[in-house]
Chains A and B, each alone.
Chain A
Amino acid sequence: MLPLRLDSILEGRRSQPHQLIEVLQDVQEQEGYISEEAMRAISNELGVPPMEVYRVASFYKAFSMQPRGKNVITMCMGTACHVRGAKLLLSQATGLLGVNSGETTDDGLFSIEQVNCLGTCALGPVVTENGACHHHMNPSKLRKLIKSIRRAGMEETSDE
C-alpha cells in the first residue's frame, strides 16, 4: 500500500520512465529526503529498475537519501566564496552545531550542506538557509543567524 502523498505525486505519471527525475524532485520537496521505500515504490510504479532509481538519486546533489533537518544551511564553497573565507564559515558552523557537513543535528533542527557554487559570486561568501540567501556572510552574522533559527524553533515547540 502506497502512502497517500506518494500516490498523489505518482498520479498521471505511472509507467513513464522518463518522469523519474521529476518524481524524485517532488518526493525530495515533500519529504525532505528520498527513502528506500519511496525509491522502491517509484521503481515499481514507473517501470524503472531499482538500480536506475538509486543511481539517479545518488548522482544528483539535489537529492538526499538521509532525512534532513528542519533547517538546511547550505554553504557555498565556490572559488569566490572560498577566497573570501567560506572555509572559516564552514568550520564555525560545524563547531557551533557539532556536526560535520552532510549531517544533521540530533534534535533534527539543522543540517549543514556544501555546494560548489550558488551562482552569486559577487555576493560571496554566500550561505542559504532553507533557500533564503544570506550574502556577505561573516562569522558573527552566521552566529546570529543560527541563534535566531534556534530561538524560532524553540518558540515553536513551546507553543505546541
Chain B
Amino acid sequence: MLQYVTLEIDGADIVVPRGLSVLDAAIEHGICIPHLCHVRYLSDIGSCRLCIVEHVVNGRSKITTSCTLRVQEDMVIQSNTERIRKLRRNLAELLVAHAPNSRAIQDIAVRCGVKEVRYPFRNENCVLCGRCVRVCSECAGANAIGFVGRGKNRRVDSPFGSLSEFCVECHTCIELCPMSIQPCIGYMEPGEERLCGACESQLDLADELPGHCVWCELGENFQCGRY
C-alpha cells in the first residue's frame, strides 16, 4: 500500500506518495520548478542544478537540488524566493554561455529571467546533463556511452573511443539530448552567439512577471505540469 506524506511547497500543502522527489511532487501539483537534466522515468543525478530550492529546517534554509531531495513529512520547501531566483538566473546564464546552440537551454535561460549573458560564450555541444548516459544504462540497458575523464576534461564518450558493440542504435540518447533542438534563429557560429531574441513575447512576459510561468513551449517536452 502506498504511504503518503504531506509537505509544503511555496505555501501550498500537498500530499504525495512517499519516495517521490520534491521536483516530481511539485510538477505533479502544477508548481513549475525549471529543470533540465531530470527525466521522469530516469534516476536523478542533479547535474544541471537548475531545480534548486530552499529547504527550510528549523527556521534555517538549505539550498539543494529538488530532484535529488526525497519528500519527507512536514517538509517546508520554497522554490521561488528572491535568493533562489537570483541563483537560478546565474546558473541558467552559465549554461547558455556554455552551450548557446540549443533551444532548450535558450528557453530555460529566458524562463529563469536571463536578460544578458555576462560570460564569454564557449559554444560547446554538451552540457553534461547526463540524460543520454542514464537512458542508455537504465532504459536501453546497453551502457554504450558514459562519462569519461573528470573535471574540465569530463565528456561523454563510448568505451575506448569507438562505438560500443552493445549499442543497438536506438537513438534514444539523441532524442533526449537538449542540444538536439536548434534555437529558433538557427545555428549560431562561434563569435555570433547571443541570447535568442526570437521569443520576444516570452521575454516581455518574463520581464513583467519575474519568476512566473510564461507557458513556454519547452514545458511540453519537459513534463511541465501545465501541459
| Chain B positions 123 through 149: 1 when the CB is less than 8 Å from some CB of chain A, otherwise 0 | 000000000000001000001111111
Cβ-closest chain B residue relative to A40: B160
Known: A50-B160, A51-B159, A51-B164. A58 touches B148 (CB 8 A): yes
Known: A39-B160, A50-B164, A51-B158. A58 touches B149 (CB 8 A): yes
* A59–B159 CB distance below 8 A: no
Interchain nearest-CB distance for A94 vs B (Å):
20
Cα–Cα, bound, A52→B147 (Å): 9
* In the complex, chain A residues whose CB is within 8 Å of the CB of B137: 49, 51
Cβ-closest chain B residue relative to A59: B150
Cα–Cα, bound, A7→B69 (Å): 44
Q: Is A36 an interface residue (CB 8 A)?
A: yes
Q: How many A-B residue pairs lie within 8 Å, measured between CB atoms?
A: 35
* In the complex, chain A residues whose CB is within 8 Å of the CB of B166: 49-50
The 6 closest A-B pairs by CB, nearest first: A49-B143, A51-B146, A50-B159, A54-B159, A51-B143, A51-B159
Cβ-closest chain B residue relative to A55: B146
* A54–B149 CB distance below 8 A: no
The interface size of chain B toward A, counting residues with CB under 8 Å, comes to: 14
Residues of B within 8 A of A (CB): 137, 143-150, 158-160, 164, 166
Residues of A within 8 A of B (CB): 36, 39, 49-55, 58-59
Cβ-closest chain A residue relative to B136: A51
Cα–Cα, bound, A48→B150 (Å): 20
* In the complex, chain A residues whose CB is within 8 Å of the CB of B150: 58-59
Interchain Cβ contacts under 8 Å between A and B, 6 examples: A39-B160, A49-B159, A51-B144, A51-B158, A54-B148, A58-B149
* A55–B160 CB distance below 8 A: no
Query: 13 other contacts beyond A53-B159, A58-B149, with CB at 8 A cut-off?
Result: A36-B160, A39-B160, A49-B143, A50-B166, A52-B143, A54-B146, A54-B159, A54-B160, A55-B146, A55-B147, A58-B148, A58-B150, A59-B150
Cα–Cα, bound, A108→B36 (Å): 47
Specify which of B146, B147, B158 lies most central, judged by the most chain A CB atoms within 10 Å of its CB.
B146
Cβ-closest chain A residue relative to B146: A51
* B148–A55 CB distance below 8 A: yes
* In the complex, chain B residues whose CB is within 8 Å of the CB of A36: 160
Cα–Cα, bound, A36→B158 (Å): 13
Interchain nearest-CB distance for A102 vs B (Å):
12
Cα–Cα, bound, A39→B159 (Å): 10
Cα–Cα, bound, A58→B149 (Å): 5
Specify which of A36, A54, A59 lies most central, judged by the most chain B CB atoms within 10 Å of its CB.
A54
Specify which of A36, A50, A52 lies most central, judged by the most chain B CB atoms within 10 Å of its CB.
A50
Cα–Cα, bound, A39→B147 (Å): 16
Cα–Cα, bound, A94→B160 (Å): 28
Interchain nearest-CB distance for A39 vs B (Å):
7
Cα–Cα, bound, A149→B186 (Å): 58
> Residue B149 contacts which of A39, A50, A59 (CB distance < 8 angstroms)?
A59
Cα–Cα, bound, A51→B158 (Å): 7
* B149–A52 CB distance below 8 A: no
Interchain nearest-CB distance for B218 vs A (Å):
30
Cα–Cα, bound, A62→B184 (Å): 45
* In the complex, chain A residues whose CB is within 8 Å of the CB of B145: 51
Specify which of A51, A52, A53, A55 lies most central, judged by the most chain B CB atoms within 10 Å of its CB.
A51
* In the complex, chain A residues whose CB is within 8 Å of the CB of B143: 49-52
Interchain nearest-CB distance for A101 vs B (Å):
14
* In the complex, chain B residues whose CB is within 8 Å of the CB of A53: 159
Cα–Cα, bound, A51→B159 (Å): 5
